[in-house]
Amino acid sequence: MDEGKERLQKVIAQAGLASRRGAEELITTGRVEVNQETVRTLGTKVGPHDHVSVDGVPIEGREKLVYYLLNKPRGVVTTNHDEKNRHTVVDLLSDVSQRVYPVGRLDYDTTGALLLTNDGTLANELMHPKKRVNKAYLAKVKGLASEEQIQPLRQGVVIDGRKTAPAKVAISRWDHTKNTSMITITIHEGRNHQVKEMLAKVGLPVIKLTRQRYAFLDLVGLQPGEYRPLKHDEIKRLKEGNYRNLRRK
């Protein structure tokens, strides 16, 4: 009798509208209709010929929600359209038919991990300051950095009259010949040019900057300019607010 049918919350989740738990909430709060009738019962099963809508919009009428991780190269702007006709990050996703947007920004000359999606709800969640999503960077700076020099970054420094949140920071290595250092720094704020300004504040101007990780998403397997769709469990973790970085086995 139920052959070919699936639970309603699973169908909604697979459509990318919400996590399974979020889909259950959509149902119990009366926002879901099946064949033009409101359904509030969890466990309701629907088949291929049933018409499901959320907030009055048919699932089949919605653009499929997609999620991509891009290794942004230098010389590309983080926007959908550029008045100067420079290449944008969206231009790089040449085979993506959906209209995606970058989550947050990376400077023109900054490289690394950038999330793009057409899921506005998730994008707004990730960018909200209260979510405290960690962004980890590797910076090449001028000068031979010392522990004393970077210590203020761990307490926060004042930029444009506002103190930054404490950062995780460490010296990776020095190049005595070139008088440069490599610094790793992790922040959860999203002010413009923040990492560059923080390091400049302690006398370590940035030469090159790469975002190595966004939340738990890293650049493993991605060359500059390459991108990949997020895995189902990665999307699930982001929607559930599980931003912790997991060590690779």
CA atoms within 13 A on the CB side of 224: 10
- Tokens coding 231: 């895995």
Question: Which SS3 state, helix, strand or coil, does residue 173 take?
Answer: strand
- The residues pairing with 68 across neighbouring beta strands, listed in sequence order, are 116, 229
Q: Where do we find the tokens 């070919």? A: 4
- Tokens coding 122: 């998730």
Which residues contact residue 61 at a Cβ distance below 8 angstroms, ignoring those fewer than 6 apart? none
175 is catalytic: no
Which residues contact residue 233 at a Cβ distance below 8 angstroms, ignoring those fewer than 6 apart? none
- Tokens coding 187: 């922040």
Question: Which SS3 state, helix, strand or coil, does residue 60 take?
Answer: helix
Read off φ and ψ for residue 170, nearest 5 degrees.
Answer: -155, 155
Select which of 2, 55, 107, 160 is catalytic. Answer: 107
| Catalytically active residues, by annotation | 107
